[in-house]
Amino acid sequence: MASGDIDREALLPVVVLLRREFEAREETLAALPTEQAAREYAADFSERVHEDRRDNPFQVMLAPAWDPDDAAQLWRELRAAAPAEKPLAPPVPEPPPRRRWWFFGRRR
């Protein structure tokens, strides 16, 4: 097995993955299109946290649960702070390929 074949993230405990996901919540919320999607994401995240706590009741490290109302509020704040979408600039045409000044392999 080659050394690049293993996903190191998959080897981490679930609680560590959940904590990392919680730390990246702002980027995740910014990518969601609606407030309802943010609420659903937070509810799903909290369900996974509670499931992990039920599966491992004596673990010391805990991932924080997340209230859907807090997620919706953060989503609205992120949307208000985000810059307005700029229209895309027209694509720049590629310059024509340069001609070589020497003729490689040609003899006169």
pLDDT in tens, 48-87: 999 999 999 898 889 999 999 999 999 999 999 877 665 6
Confidence label for 96 from pLDDT (cuts 50, 70 and 90) = confident
- Listed in sequence order, the residues at least 6 apart from 69 whose beta carbon sits closer than 8 Å to its beta carbon are 39
Mean pLDDT, the chain, rounded, equals 85
Task: Residue 64: name the closest of 46, 38, 41 by CA.
Answer: 46
d(CA 71, CA 98): 54
d(CA 47, CA 62): 14
pTM value > 0.75: no
